[in-house]
A and B are shown apart, each in its own frame.
Chain A
Amino acid sequence: MVAAGGDLRVELGRRYRFAASHRLHTERLSEEENARLYGKCNNPHGHGHNYVVEISVSGAIDPANGMIANLTDLDGFVEHEVLEAFDHRSLNEEVPAFRESVPTTENLCIEIFRRLRSFPQAKLERVRIEETSNNSFEFAGDNPIGEPVETGVHLEGNRP
């Protein structure tokens, strides 16, 4: 069943790209277990992807400009908060969050959501990342994300 009624909600979606290297490896497992679990993604020299990051923001459409958020502001914010820190970088070595956690694309979604949720002009709804054209991952914090799924991940008070 679908909840009926309610106001119209409009979201603005924007796609960005960056290229980065990573290695899936955790100190919590032995070398053999890492190799078995992560397979070729555990290659000690790392490997890379062309990531596509799709973000959605919601808010009222300003009648003066017809926009939820000015694209120049959104692009500048994403450039500063994410692309400058991630593009042509090693995620393991150069993004502090991945000293503690494995840079899977699941964790990358959570980290990018954390970095972007303070965007001042609109509400960040979700982050969707394509690691390759065949694999994509999505994280929405506490926002609805299609069917209700308990993620167990809450970001309250998590921002440094």
Chain B
Amino acid sequence: MVLLTRKIEFSASHRYDNPALSPEENRRVFGKCNNPHGHGHNYTLEVTVAGEPDPVTGMVLDLSELKKILEREVMQRMDHRHLNYEVPELAGQIPTCENVARVIWGLLEPKIKQGKLHRVRLYESPDLFADCYRNGSNEVTK
């Protein structure tokens, strides 16, 4: 099995706020991420697909196809957007790195027809990221 990874970057704003909590609790739980005016990040997304290289093309999947999927599913939805207000898939969720990674997994998994989505890694900053896997899929079986 071979893993193939494609990286893209997008910029988006967000705010952490749970309407079920009081303003004081929100400030306590989320700190400066609760700023009512929001803030933003340059996100880096690494998408890893696992599979056997096709004997004819030598590819796990065509990178240009993956590039198109990422453009359509992620860039157009999230780049230069406000994640709280403009991404319906995140409605009702706090747009943390964990939740955004999970939503991206859900968007990409059904679109990848060659190979299998292995990992979605989303960096919110160089020191903070979330990884998403299908349970069991990082254990390579004989």
Contacts and interface: CB of A to CB of B under 8 A. Distances in A.
Interface string A1-36: 111111111111111100000000000000000000
B38 to A, nearest CB: 15
B136 A3 contact: yes
Contacts of A14: 127-129
A3 to B, nearest CB: 4
B64 interface: no
Interface stretch (B54-62, B74-82, B88-96): B88-96
Nearest to A74: B128
Contacts of A9: 132-135
A7 B131 contact: no
B27 interface: no
Nearest to A60: B98
B134 to A, nearest CB: 5
What's the interface size class on B, roughly? 35 or more
A4 to B, nearest CB: 8
A102 interface: no
B131 A66 contact: no
B98 A8 contact: no
Contacts, number: 99
Given A7-B135, A8-B135, A67 B98 contact: yes
A6 B135 contact: yes
A12 B101 CA distance: 10
A147 interface: yes
Contacts of A146: 138, 140
A52 to B, nearest CB: 9
A contact patch SS? loop
Interface in A63-102: 63-68, 70-72
Contacts of A5: 134, 136
Given A65-B94, A66-B96, A11 B140 contact: no
Contact of A2 (B99, B116, B129): B116
Contact of A10 (B93, B127, B131): B131
Given A9-B133, A61-B99, 10 more contacts: A2-B50, A3-B139, A9-B134, A12-B97, A63-B93, A65-B96, A67-B98, A71-B128, A144-B138, A147-B140
29 contacts: A1-B141, A2-B116, A2-B118, A2-B141, A3-B139, A3-B141, A4-B137, A7-B134, A8-B102, A8-B105, A8-B132, A9-B135, A10-B101, A10-B130, A12-B130, A13-B129, A14-B129, A15-B126, A15-B127, A56-B131, A61-B96, A64-B18, A64-B20, A65-B16, A66-B95, A66-B96, A66-B99, A67-B96, A146-B140
